[in-house]
Amino acid sequence: MQLTRLTDYGLRVLMYAALTPANRKCRIADVAESFGIPRNNVMKIVNKLANEGFIYTTRGKGGGFQLGKPETEIYIGEVVSCLEENLQIIDCESYCGCPIIPSCRLRRAFSSARVAFLQELDSYTLKDLVGSAAPLRRLLRIASR
């Protein structure tokens, strides 16, 4: 029941942005280097996060990205819902003609479990993930001003 790697990267990008002082922009290359993840994947997820309004990007020299809203207003369940391409716990579509679909109660059980999962994640905001910021800034070598 793992999330996709891109969702994971997306959460890291948001944490990085939350840890960066508001007067500075984040650069894709820095995020990729700090976490040791491929630059083109960071670029892909930055675009997706921008489309969803979690960050906004500025092009050109001195460009980069910043949080699109306060870190206390970014709920982790919402982020995961937006980034995961498939929230089906079991992919019924991949069974050609699963015989029990008309009376299947498993889907209902998984649907309510998925809601419980996302609701629990929504009890955390991006602010909760970065905490006091200082320890994570040290680990990621982000200057505090």
Q: Which residues bind a second copy (CB under 8 A)?
A: 1-3, 8, 11-12, 15, 34-36, 76-77, 84, 86-91, 95-100, 102-103, 105-106, 109-110, 112-121, 124, 128-131, 135-136, 139-140
Quote the least distance from Cβ 57 to a second copy, whole Å. 23
Quote the least distance from Cβ 65 to a second copy, whole Å. 19
Return the number of the residue (11 or 46) whose C-beta is nearest a second copy: 11
Neighbours of 142 (CB within 10 A): 17
Return the number of the residue (52 or 122) whose C-beta is nearest a second copy: 122
User: Which sign does the torsion angle of CA 130, 19, 86, 119 carry?
Assistant: positive
Joined together, the tokens standing for residue 36 give 């040791």
70-73 own/partner pairs: CB under 8 Å, 24+ apart:
70/127, 71/18, 71/125, 71/126, 71/127, 71/130, 72/125, 72/126, 72/127, 73/125
Query: Are the C-beta atoms of residues 113 and 89 closer than 8 Å to each other?
Result: yes
Return the number of the residue (22 or 116) whose C-beta is nearest a second copy: 116
The pairing of strands 64-67 and 55-58 is antiparallel
Return the number of the residue (36 or 62) whose C-beta is nearest a second copy: 36
Quote the least distance from Cβ 63 to a second copy, whole Å. 25
Quote the least distance from Cβ 97 to a second copy, whole Å. 7
